[in-house]
Structure 1
Amino acid sequence: MPKVTQEYMDARRKQILEAARRCFLRDGFHSTSMQDLFAESGLSAGAVYRHFASKNEMITAIVEENMRDVLAMVHSAAEKRPSHSVGALMADVLDIVKAKTAEQNIAGLSVLAWSEALRNPSLARQFDDLMAQMRSALTDVVREHQRSGTMPGEASPDGIAAALMCILPGYILQLAMGDAKSMEEVPGALRALWPNSAASTD
């Protein structure tokens, strides 16, 4: 029997998740059956179950993939770019969300997943973990800016990070509702609200 390569397995997993995205966006989580997913992916039940035991596992995998680039951007700012302004960081995050929404409609998928998380404790825990990771990284960024004097220090870094986190769901919701045009100036507005003032403090 020929050996199945990792590249082959990765390609099948990607094929399944792309099919799941299309089904979930078209019919919603609850109206999509495993049979629908088999048909949409063009794979057998055994091939799909080899990668995912349930729809819930697919939903979780999609949420993780949607957040991966955003988390990477925030962690990079926390670890490698302490002089990068908070406004520029948040604008970069929104730019990623907008680009991924154009490619895969992650805004629509995110809203569907949030709704599902209200009744799905496992998915809710997944969201909590991802959001906690982002909040922690943002807290590190804010703390560094407060330490360098480029951000006011009256409020706690945790509180500021939590406030910044509130921007993301609102942006995602409006993109999901088809309001992309009115959102075009939001990244630029964030850069203007929190400019990079590190150079002026040298």
Structure 2
Amino acid sequence: MPRVSQIQLDARRQEILAAARVCFARHGYEGATVRRLEEATGLSRGAIFHHFRDKDSLFLAVAEDDAAAMVETVARNGLVQVMRDLLTRADSPDTAGWLGSQLEVSRRLRTDPDFARRWAARSAAIAEATRERLGRQRDAGVLRDDVPIDVLARFLELAYDGLVLQLAMGRPGSDLGAVLDIVEEAVRRPTPR
């Protein structure tokens, strides 16, 4: 029997994550039964759980994958860019899957103390990336300096949560780009007149 390379294993793992993301988004954590995960991935439960210990580990891997991508974007371009990316891709299946998994993470944070404990480190990484980016922007003279970094970060996090809620309710609206312009302007250093 031919050996499977690490590249092939990693590719299969990414395929499983992508299909599971859509399944969790469509059906929620509880509704994403093993049977539905098999249908979504086109793989047997043995193939799925060869890569992930159980459904909980699979869901956490989906959420971690999303969080890692978000941290990378925040570190490079800031949290407002994450929001702009969401708007740009609001109607794509990838964003719908990502949005659904974000909502499911939020629900599980409220209802599952064990999940909340496990998720704390991932959430902290996003918050830290946001604060580091804001610190660099402030040092470069781009951000206002009359408000503490923690308050600016919290403001952006609230704007992000509000945007996710608007998209989840199916109300993307053409004016949300203008709203993000205001959010971005609110954290920038005022230009002298």
Deviation at 1:161, TM superposition (A): 1.8
Distance apart, 1:178 and its partner CA = 0.7
Q: Check conservation: 2:144, 2:187, Cα contact below 8 A.
A: no
Name which of 110, 121, 130 aligns with 2:122: 130
State which drifts further: 185-194 or 43-52. Answer: 185-194
**Paired-residue identity, %:** 26
Q: CA distance change for structure 1 residues 38 and 180 in 2, over 3 Å: closer, same or farther?
A: same
Greater Cα offset, 22-31 or 1-10: 22-31
| 1:36-185 correspondence runs (5 A) | 36-76=36-76, 89-99=78-88, 101=90, 102-104=92-94, 105=96, 106-147=98-139, 149-181=141-173, 182-185=175-178
Q: Shift of the alpha carbon at 1:144? A: 3.9
User: What TM-score, normalized to structure 2?
Assistant: 0.81
Question: Which structure 1 segments of 5+ residues have no match?
Answer: 78-88
**Post-superposition offset of 1:94:** 0.6
Q: 1:145 to 1:17 in 2, by over 3 A?
A: closer
Deviation at 1:128, TM superposition (A): 2.4
User: SS of the counterpart of 1:43?
Assistant: coil
* 1: CA distance, partners of 2:54 / 2:70: 26
Paired letter, 2:182 = A
CA distance in 1, matches of 2:93, 2:59: 18
Matched residues in 1 for 2:75 and 2:24: separation? 30
What is the TM-score with the length of structure 1 in the denominator? Answer: 0.78
Aligned to 1:27: 27
Partner of residue 186, structure 1: 179
What's 1:80 paired with?
none
Task: Give yes or no for contact 2:141–2:189 (8 Å, CA) kept in 1.
Answer: no
Local SS of the residue matching 1:185: helix
Alpha carbon RMSD of aligned pairs, Å?
2.6
Give 1:180 deviation, angstroms.
0.9
Structure 2: state its 5+ residue gaps.
Answer: none
Matched with 1:16 is 16
Deviations 1:131-168 (A, max 9, x none): 22222232233334444554444443223222322211
* 1:54 Cα offset (Å): 1.4
